Amino acid sequence: MKNDYRARNHPAWWAFAVHRVSGLALAAFLPFHFWALGQALGGEAALQGFLVWAERPLVKASEWGLVVLLAAHMAGGLRLLALELLPWRDWQKALLAGAAGFTIVVGLALALVL
Partner 1 sequence: MSARTETRLWIAQRASAAVLALCVVVHLIVIVYAMQGGLSAAEILARTRGSIGWLAFYSVFVLAAAVHAPIGLRAVLMEWTRARGWPLAIVLHAFALALAVVGLRAVWAVFAA
Q: Which residues lie near partner 1 (CB under 8 A)?
A: 20, 23-24, 26-27, 30-31, 33-41, 43-45, 47-48, 51, 54, 67, 70-71, 74, 77-78, 80-81, 84-85, 106, 109-110, 113-114
Q: How far is the CB of 34 from partner 1 (least distance, A)?
A: 4
Closest to partner 1 by CB, 1 vs 113, is: 113
Is the CB of residue 27 less than 8 Å from the CB of residue 66?
A: no
Q: Which is nearer to partner 1, 97 or 114 (CB)?
A: 114
Write the burial class of residue 71 (CB in 10 Å: 0-12 exposed, 13-18 middle, 19+ buried). buried
Residues 6+ apart with CB under 8 A from 66: 25, 26, 29
**Smallest separation, CB 74 to partner 1 (Å):** 4
Q: Where are the beta strands (DSSP E) in 1-114?
A: none
The nearer residue to partner 1, 96 or 110, going by C-beta atoms, is 110
* Tally of helices (H runs) and strands (E runs) in the chain: 5, 0
CB of residue 91 vs partner 1: minimum separation in angstroms?
A: 18
Q: Do 66 and 26 meet the contact criterion of CB atoms below 8 Å apart? A: yes
What is the smallest separation between the CB atom of 114 and partner 1, expressed in angstroms?
6
